[in-house]
Amino acid sequence: MPYKYAKNAIEEQILPNIPYLLVMLSILISHFVFKGEDLKTFLSFVVLIPIFTYFKWDGRIPVGYALVMLIAAAIVLAFMKNESLANQLAIYAYWLLVTGVLCLTIEYMRESKNSEIKSFF
């Protein structure tokens, strides 16, 4: 009986947060492990696209993170006067926007294909 409750807790609390954690993990890996190297940073964000499309997660999640990163870049530039960190945050925001837009485009194409099939029958 306790296993059933533990399984429900995992399904209800952890599984819905995996897309958010995955995007955050990609940002942290890009910043702390890859130190903002262009190709590795690019790959760490591009790998999110097939994952998000396979599991049919919402493509707006990376876009939301991109908006937060842009706001953080503006705050860092305005108050901390750290231009290099602000530039790095803006680069992460750019790649998150690319990731989110591609995920949303794939989602849109998938939905339009399904609606064409349904309207055919």
The domain limits of the chain are: 2-120
Q: Are 46 and 102 in contact (CB under 8 A)?
A: no
The CA distance from 120 to 99, in Å, is 32
Strand, helix or coil at 78?
Answer: helix
What are the Cα distances from residue 49, in Å, to 24, 28, 88?
14, 17, 21
pLDDT tens column, 63-110: 999 999 999 999 999 999 999 999 999 999 999 999 999 999 999 999
Q: Which of 58, 92, 44, 95 is nearest to 72 (CA)?
A: 92
Does the structure show a pLDDT above 80 at 116?
Answer: no
